[in-house]
C-alpha cells in the first residue's frame, strides 16, 4: 500500500516551518519511504516574536494566535504545493504545531496551529494535536518520533535528534526514548548575543574554553538525575540554563564551548543510564543516527564522538535532507498511521497507560 503525505514541524529553535512531502510504502508489515520534496519556510521577524512570546498572552489572545497560526500554516502548505506542483497528490497532512505549554504532570500539552484552520486553508485531511491523547493517558507526550524510528530505520540501534532540545531513542525491547537536554535553542541564543543567527559548524564554540565551574553546575541540575520516561519544556533551556550561562561571567565563546561539552556529556550519560550497550539489549559497536540542526554542528559531533568512543558507539551523520527533515518526515508517517487507525505513540517511551492512536482528524475536502 502506498501513502503520500505532508508532514509539518516547527521546532523550539524558531528557524522556520519544515515541510516534507513523503511517499510511504507498506508491504507485509515492513515500511519504506522516499522524501519527494522538502523545504523550510523561514519565519518573519514578526512571527518569531509572536511565537516566542505566546506563553505570555492572555487566554483570549493565545486562542486568536492559535487560529491565526493555523491559517498561516495552511497558507504555507498551499505555497509548498504550488511550488512543487503537488496538486491532487497529497492524501493527508500531519501537523505537529509549535509547542508552547508542555505540562505532562498536569496532563496538559499545547501546540499552536489550529488543525481546523489548516484543513480549511488546504481543503485536505489534516491530523493535528499529535501529543494530546498520550498526555491524557498519563504519558509525557514526548518524544513521539520513536514510532517512525522503530519502523523506518531498523538498521540503527540509537537515534539522536539535536534540535532545540536533544532527545535520544534506542531500538531496544521495550523501546526507550526521552529528552536529554536543551541544545540548539540555547546555542542559538548565545550566538544571537554575538550578532549571529547560529554558530555555524560550531566554529565559535571550538575557539572557546570550558568553564569547569559552570559545567559542573549545569551537569548537577536535578532533571538529569530523574529516571525516564521524562520530557523537557522549552523554558528549561531559556529560563534555567541560559541565565546560568549568561550570569557565569564567561565570554560568549566560552559559554558556547562549555554548553557543547555539557550536551555531549549528557548524551553519553543518557545512553549509559539505560545500559543500552549490554549484549541483552543492544549489541556493542552500534550505530547512532544523528539528525536535527545540531548534526550540522561539526564541533559538537566531534565532541560527541569523543565521549562515545569508549562505549564503542559510532555517530552516523546522514545526508542533509534527512538531517533537516527527519522530524517532518516522521510527522507525515504519524499522520499515515493515524489514517490507518494504528498505534502511533509508544507508551514504553512516554510512560502512558497504553499505546495510543494520537491525533485529531479534520476533514478539509468536500464529501
Give me the CATH number covering residue 334.
3.30.420.40
Please indicate, yes or no, whether residues 104 and 153 belong to a single structural domain of this protein.
no
Domain that holds residue 228: 146-322
Please indicate, yes or no, whether residues 226 and 288 belong to a single structural domain of this protein.
yes
**pLDDT confidence of residue 228:** 86
Provide mean pLDDT across the span 30-34.
97
Res 233 pLDDT > 90: no
Please indicate, yes or no, whether residues 70 and 150 belong to a single structural domain of this protein.
no
Number of structural domains, the chain?
A: 2
**pLDDT confidence of residue 75:** 98
Please indicate, yes or no, whether residues 17 and 110 belong to a single structural domain of this protein.
yes
Please indicate, yes or no, whether residues 167 and 222 belong to a single structural domain of this protein.
yes
Please indicate, yes or no, whether residues 120 and 246 belong to a single structural domain of this protein.
no
pLDDT, one tens digit per residue, over 71-109 is: 999 999 999 999 999 999 999 999 999 999 999 999 999
**pLDDT confidence of residue 311:** 87
Please indicate, yes or no, whether residues 69 and 161 belong to a single structural domain of this protein.
no
Which one, of 100, 69, 346, lies nearest residue 233 by Cα?
A: 100
Res 284 pLDDT > 90: no
Which residues 6+ apart lie within 8 Å of 58 measured at CB? none
Q: Is 73 a member of any domain?
A: yes
Please indicate, yes or no, whether residues 10 and 71 belong to a single structural domain of this protein.
yes
Please indicate, yes or no, whether residues 242 and 332 belong to a single structural domain of this protein.
no
Q: Is 38 a member of any domain?
A: yes
HEC letters along the chain: CEEEEEEEEECCCCCCEEEEEEEEEEECCEEEEEEEEEEEECCCHHHHHHHHCHHHCCHHHHHHHHHHHHHHHHHHHHHHHHHCCCCCCCCEEEEEEEEEEEEHHHCEEEEECCHHHHHHHHCCCEEECCCHHHHHCCCCCCCCCHHHHHHHCCCCCEEEEECCEEEEEECCCCCEEEEEEECHHHHHHHHHCCCCCCCHHHHHHHCCCCCHHHHHHHHCCHHHHCCCCCCCCCHHHHHHHHHHHHCCCCCHHHHHHHHHHHHHHHHHHHHHHCCCCCCCCCCCCCEEEEECHHHHCHHHHHHHHHHHHHHCCEEECCCHHHHHHHHHHHHHHHHHHHHCCCCCECHHHHCCCCCECCCEEECCCCC
> Model-level pTM?
0.85
Please indicate, yes or no, whether residues 164 and 309 belong to a single structural domain of this protein.
yes
Q: Is 367 a member of any domain?
A: no
Res 277 pLDDT > 60: no
Please indicate, yes or no, whether residues 250 and 191 belong to a single structural domain of this protein.
yes
Please indicate, yes or no, whether residues 204 and 336 belong to a single structural domain of this protein.
no
pLDDT, one tens digit per residue, over 128-150 is: 999 999 999 999 998 899 999 99
In whole numbers, what is the pLDDT of the chain averaged over residues? 94
At 170, give phi and psi (nearest 5°).
-135, 130
Amino acid at each position: 500500500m502506498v501513502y503520500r503525505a505532508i508532514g509539518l514541524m516547527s521546532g523550539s529553535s524558531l528557524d522556520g516551518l519544515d515541510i516534507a512531502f513523503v511517499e510511504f510504502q507498506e508491504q507485509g508489515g515492513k515500511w519504506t519511504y522516499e522524501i519527494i520534496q522538502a523545504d523550510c519556510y523561514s519565519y518573519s521577524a514578526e512571527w518569531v516574536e509572536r511565537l516566542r512570546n505566546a506563553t505570555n498572552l492572555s487566554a483570549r489572545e493565545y486562542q486568536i494566535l492559535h487560529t491565526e497560526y493555523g491559517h498561516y500554516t495552511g497558507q504555507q502548505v498551499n505555497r509548498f504545493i504550488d511550488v512543487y506542483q503537488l496538486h491532487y497528490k497529497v492524501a493527508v497532512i500531519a501537523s505537529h504545531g509549535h509547542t508552547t505549554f508542555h505540562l505532562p504532570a498536569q496532563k496538559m500539552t499545547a501546540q499552536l496551529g489550529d488543525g481546523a484552520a489548516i484543513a480549511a486553508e488546504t481543503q485536505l485531511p489534516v491530523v493535528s494535536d499529535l501529543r494530546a491523547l498520550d498526555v491524557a493517558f498519563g504519558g509525557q507526550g514526548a518524544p513521539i518520533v520513536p514510532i517512525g524510528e522503530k519502523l523506518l530505520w531498523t538498521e540503527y540501534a540509537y537515534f539522536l535528534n539535536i534540535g532545540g532540545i536533544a532527545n535520544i531513542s534506542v531500538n531496544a525491547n521495550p523501546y526507550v526514548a526521552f529528552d536529554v537536554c536543551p541544545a540548539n535553542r540555547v546555542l542559538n541564543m548565545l550566538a544571537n548575543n554575538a550578532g549571529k543567527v547560529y554558530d555555524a559548524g560550531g566554529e565559535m564554540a571550538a575557539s572557546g574554553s570550558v568553564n569547569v565551574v559552570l559545567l559542573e553546575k549545569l551537569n548537577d541540575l536535578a532533571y538529569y538525575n530523574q529516571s525516564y520516561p521524562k520530557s523537557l519544556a522549552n523554558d528549561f533551556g531559556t529560563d534555567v540554563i541560559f541565565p546560568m550561562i549568561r550570569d557565569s561571567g564567561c565570554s560568549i565563546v566560552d559559554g558556547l564551548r562549555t554548553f557543547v561539552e555539557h550536551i555531549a556529556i549528557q548524551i553519553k550519560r543518557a545512553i549509559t543510564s539505560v545500559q543500552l550497550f549490554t549484549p541483552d539489549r543492544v549489541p556493542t559497536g552500534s550505530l547512532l543516527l544523528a539528525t536535527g540542526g545540531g548534526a550540522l554542528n561539526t564541533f559538537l559531533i566531534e565532541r560527541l564522538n569523543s565521549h562515545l568512543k569508549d562505549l564503542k558507539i559510532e555517530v552516523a551523520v546522514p545526508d542533509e535532507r534527512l538531517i533537516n527533515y527527519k522530524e517532518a518526515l516522521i510527522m507525515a508517517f504519524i499522520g499515515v498511521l493515524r489514517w490507518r487507525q494504528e498505534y502511533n505513540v509508544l507508551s514504553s517511551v512516554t510512560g502512558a497507560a497504553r499505546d495510543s492512536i494520537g491525533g485529531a482528524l479534520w476533514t478539509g475536502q468536500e464529501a
